[in-house]
Chain A
């Protein structure tokens, strides 16, 4: 299994504060992704990266930014958290060979009060 970790695993914050979630992978995968998962919506792509410093928006990118300064790390920042961003956030990665099998981290449960 790909080694993907996320930190923190749980976070409670207040509306208007900035929040950064970290994803770390040890598989030297080129592609990395941030999703949010909400009841009734499944997994929705926020942003993804196709290499160091190369990122692109997904379907629900408003209010989020990302950075990737190293292959192994992909950061997701909520610039000013809102209650609508309360969700479970998953990071995923995959390499360049074969099918697009994405390996997921354990998730971060974020609550914005």
Chain B
């Protein structure tokens, strides 16, 4: 079983929709959880991260962690065409200077 699983999509929604992106993980020792955004033909960039179970909000974006279910989510409200990108969850194993990435979900917001 992969340490981090993410539905690769693709996901296509109309502008203004609420988007939900999800990952599951297998190792309960993970301490914090990250979401990267990657525009076409660019390198990924950190979008947001959260340490503990619960929600973290940043503008139209909300990151949610459910440690009991080993499930993390990224919600995008009032989605815009500029949100079209690939979103990757990433989790750092405890004590390791590495990241384990999900497969990435390609998202398209249609005007």
Contacts and interface: CB of A to CB of B under 8 A. Distances in A.
Interface of A: 4, 31, 33, 39-45, 48, 50, 58, 90, 92, 94, 99-102, 104-107
Contacts of B101: 42-44
The secondary structure that dominates the B interface is: loop
Nearest to B96: A100
B45 interface: yes
A11 to B, nearest CB: 15
Interface residues of B, number: 20
Interface of B: 6, 8, 32, 34, 41-46, 49, 88, 92, 97-99, 101-104
B45 A42 contact: no
The 7 closest A-B pairs by CB, nearest first: A104-B43, A42-B103, A43-B101, A100-B92, A42-B104, A42-B101, A101-B46
